[in-house]
Amino acid sequence: MLKGAESYWIGLSDQHDERTFRWEGTGEEVGFSYWRKHQPDNHGGTEDCTHYYNIDRYKWNDMSCDYQSQYICQRMYKEFSSNERV
């Protein structure tokens, strides 16, 4: 990951219909787009979730959903362990 960059997931995915990005929850098609250049590229054929970095003008990139759950688990673990120390 780029230095100083934080990644944020947005609830947008094309898991059910490749190349059609929908909001998770409502299932509505996204009415606008703010993709980075050359994205979404569905890299490796497995990128169905969307995130952005707090740099690069917050532009979107599609990324593997597996990575998303991993990231969220790590975050929760960190918060949990820091609470424990207090």
Nearer to Ca ion, 43 or 75 (CB): 43
CA distance from start to end of the chain? 30
Give the shortest CB-35-to-Ca ion separation in angstroms: 9
| Count of residues near Ca ion by CB under 5 A | 9
Residue 14 CB partners (closer than 8 Å, separation 6+) = 20, 21, 22, 40, 42, 48, 62
Q: Does 13 bind Ca ion (CB under 5 A)?
A: no
**Binding region for Ca ion (CB under 5 A) out of 2-10, 12-20, 24-32, 67-75:** 12-20
Q: Where are the alpha helices (DSSP H) in the chain?
A: 65-85
d(CA 78, CA 28): 33
Q: Which amino acid is present at 33?
A: S
Q: Segment 16-75, which members bind Ca ion (CB under 5 A)?
A: 39, 41-43, 47-48, 61-62
Write out the residues near Ca ion by the rule CB under 5 A: 14, 39, 41-43, 47-48, 61-62
